[in-house]
Structure 1
Amino acid sequence: MMSSCVRRSMPAIRLLAIAAAALVAAWSGLAMAQSYPARPITLIVPFPPGGPTDTSARLIAKALAERLKQAVVIDNRAGAGGTLGIVAAAKAAADGHTLVWAGTSFAIAAAYGREVGYDPVKSFAHIGLVARGQQVLIGRLNLAHASLKDLVAASKSAPGRMTYGSVGAGSAPHLVAEYFKSVSGADLVHVPYKGGAQSLNDLQGGHIDVMFNTVTLLAPHIKAGRVKAYAVTGRSRDPLLPQVATIGEALNVDFESYFWMGLASPAGTPAAIVGRLSAELNQALADRQLREAMLQQGLEPAGGTPESFERTIVQEMKKWSAVIKAQGIKPE
């Protein structure tokens, strides 16, 4: 029969065993972080090469490679609105040698409440918010309405006639337009396209009236006088389009929307490695040349902690889930 002394000591023994296991895990993670990175790092970008998402990812990959003294290789995994690459990243080894470029679609896809193969919060270790940027509402040149206020009033006076294009049903520009409709009361009919180039061509050709897309993509067309700019979506004016008011300014409403991008790694990546990557990312984003390069792309460098990035993702999911539900939006 076990003595009472031995019985009393069992909880202490279990606690010691747990503490020892935790210590071993901590030392193991620390040792891994000290030798990290042991080989080239793969950065999965869930979109095709050449676009603004890819371009900004390459800027960060280069900066991290210089700081980590190891190659950071871009792996473009386009498909399923970005989901294909994100799922591949979620399934990768959690050793810090596979990262993913997590953008707005990272949260939007899951905000529909359907199975997408990953959970934006639970499937990843969040490293940091890299940057954010604004969208801009543009119209065809021969649209008669001089201001956003006039545009909204005209749409209300002729329900079902004014159209807006998007890069696809369920995309970020589609959701921003529906959010704008809910706040402003504008009456706009959605015309979905398969990408930004086609929607922009049709707007310039007079087949649709207005559209939202990123300042990065549309600023050159605005500056060249090919389209009208009505308003940007942020809290303050965009440095690339300082003459264009915000939606909040133009309509005296509470409106704010940004697209964003950040870095994440598979869930289970050792905290020491996540901390190292977060620190290196913040140092890279403090570099004047990198900041200038990002600003020229219409991006506002961000930075911050893994925890603050995770909060951003959670807030974005809640925001877009509410818009999706209220407006009855269906993905493609």
Structure 2
Amino acid sequence: MIPRFKLLRASALVLCCLPLWLSAHAADKYPDKPVRVVVPFPAGGGTDTMARTLGLALQQALGQPFLVDNKSGATGNIGTEFVARSPGDGYTLLVVPNSLAINKFLFPRLAFDPQKSFKPVALLGSSPVVVGVKASLPVNSIQELIAMARKNPGKLSYASCGSGSPQHIAGELFKMMAKVDITHIPYKGCSPAAVDAAGGLVDVVFNTVANIRPFVQTGKVRALAVTSAKRSALAPELPTVQESNLPGYDIEVWFGALAPAGTPDAVIARLNAEINKTLARPEIRDGMEKISYEAVGGSSKQFADVIQRDLERYGAIISKANIKID
């Protein structure tokens, strides 16, 4: 006969270890059916392109289809909420930009929490915002732009990709740190904002590398700097805003993969490992650079830290600048 206390202790040990065994077992089998990759924006954009590149590579590595499902609407919130409500089994993933961190402060009644509702899988890529000016504006550096703005408060205008976009936040942070008054003009998308800057309808533009580059090459827009903390391989000739006597200025657009909360840790680890292998492939890195994104990668914890950092920063900027969705 086994003493009762020993039997209870053994049972408790089994129950304690069971979740770990189930998690490891899930990863051994995973994936054994197609995986849905939700993109909360329309097809054809940067997030969609990132997801499709990732999905094809994971399909080749893991032997199951990774099918992109575009669920757009409400500035990304519809698709994001769909994933938050999905089973935590690893068969529904989310690929999303840093609107995940921004929208918390723009939509106070969200049905999901950017941290509690998800488990970060991996950071996929990033891109700086480019600060440019129309060709006729007589400034050639961030310092000269600040000097002109200070001499002409409220007279200069800047275009962003839309209210609440990372480019808008980059512009407002610039105004705060440089202590200048520049009128914000929100556009419905990065492309029309870049077109109007090239046409001289706005003085300054905060936009993506991909949208600004063609107009820089034709001389219709003069690029002054990138907003990232370090110079970007996507535009190595451009200094950072930090180098222009604005230490601490740092805004980037990032893209990451997440899974619903409750997804087994072993499945997250499996996906993270495969994503990092994918991002290390030269053809993937080169392909991402061609669409103006740098491959990042790293651990799930590192991605979680980026989300936490941006929640703290964006919340403060949005509150101080009183940013609202039009």
Same fold (TM over 0.5): yes
Q: Which residue is equivalent to 1:184? A: 178
Point out where structure 1 has 5 or more consecutive residues left out of the alignment.
none
Q: Shift of residue 18 of structure 1?
A: 4.1
Decide which of 64, 70, 82 is 2:58's aligned counterpart: 64
1:136-151 mapped onto 2 (5 Å cutoff): 136-151=130-145
Which segment is superposed worse, 181-190 or 25-34? 25-34
Deviation at 1:222, TM superposition (A): 1.4
1:269 aligns with 2:263: yes
Tell me the SS of whatever aligns to 1:153: helix
Alignment of 1:270-289 (within 5 A): 270-289=264-283
RMSD after superposition: 1.9
| SS of equivalent to 2:223 | strand
Q: Please give the alpha-carbon distance, in whole angstroms, between the structure 1 residues aligned to 2:216 and 2:282.
A: 27
Aligned amino acid, residue 90 of structure 1: A
Matching residue within 81, 84, 88 for 1:90: 84
Aligned to 1:243: 237
Q: 2:199 aligns with which of 205, 211, 228?
A: 205
1:163 match:
157
Q: Do 1:111 and 1:318's aligned partners in 2 also have CA atoms closer than 8 Å?
A: no
Bigger CA radius of gyration: 1
User: SS at the partner of 2:86?
Assistant: coil
CA contact (8 A) 1:152 1:187 kept: no
Show CA shifts across 1:66-86 (max 9, x none): 111111111111111111111
SS in structure 1 of the partner of residue 308 of structure 2: helix
Q: Supply the AA of the counterpart residue of 2:280.
A: A
Q: How many residues align?
A: 324
1:227 partnered with 2:228: no
Contact kept, 8 Å, 1:184 with 1:253, in 2: the verdict is no
Could you tell me which amino acid in structure 2 is paired with residue 163 of structure 1? S
5+ residue gaps, structure 2: none
Matched, 1:319 2:313: yes
From 17, 26, 42, give the equivalent of 2:36.
Answer: 42
Local SS of the residue matching 2:83? helix
Percent identical residues? 34
The within-5 A match list for 1:118-137 is 118-137=112-131
State the Cα deviation string for residues 177-220 of structure 1 (Å, max 9, x = none).
Answer: 00111111222111112212222222223221111112132222
Task: Please say if residues 198 and 215 of structure 2, whose CA atoms lie closer than 8 Å, have aligned partners that are also in contact.
Answer: no
The 1:131–1:14 alpha-carbon spacing in structure 2 relative to 1, beyond 3 Å, is farther
Q: 1:156 to 1:23 in 2, by over 3 A?
A: same
* SS of the residue 2:236 aligns to: coil
Q: Within 5 Å, which residues of 2 pair with 1:246-261?
A: 246-251=240-245, 253-261=247-255
TM-score normalized by the length of structure 1: 0.92
Q: Secondary structure at the match of 2:319?
A: helix
CA contact (8 A) 1:127 1:262 kept: yes
- Tell me which moved more, 276-285 or 196-205: 196-205
1:129-187 per-residue CA deviation (whole Å, 9 max, x = no partner) reads 11111110111111122322111111111111101112221111111100111111222
Which of residues 187, 202, 205 in structure 2 aligns to 1:193? 187
**Contact 2:194/2:211 (<8 A) preserved:** no
User: Which residue in 2 is equivalent to 1:101?
Assistant: 95
Provide the residue aligned with 2:208 in structure 1. 214
In the alignment, the residues of structure 1 paired with residue 230 and residue 21 of structure 2 have an alpha-carbon distance, to the nearest angstrom, of 46
SS of the equivalent of 2:87 reads coil
Partner of 1:299: 293
Residue pair 1:219, 1:240 contacting (<8 A) in 2 also: no
**Counterpart of 2:258 in 1: which secondary structure?**
strand
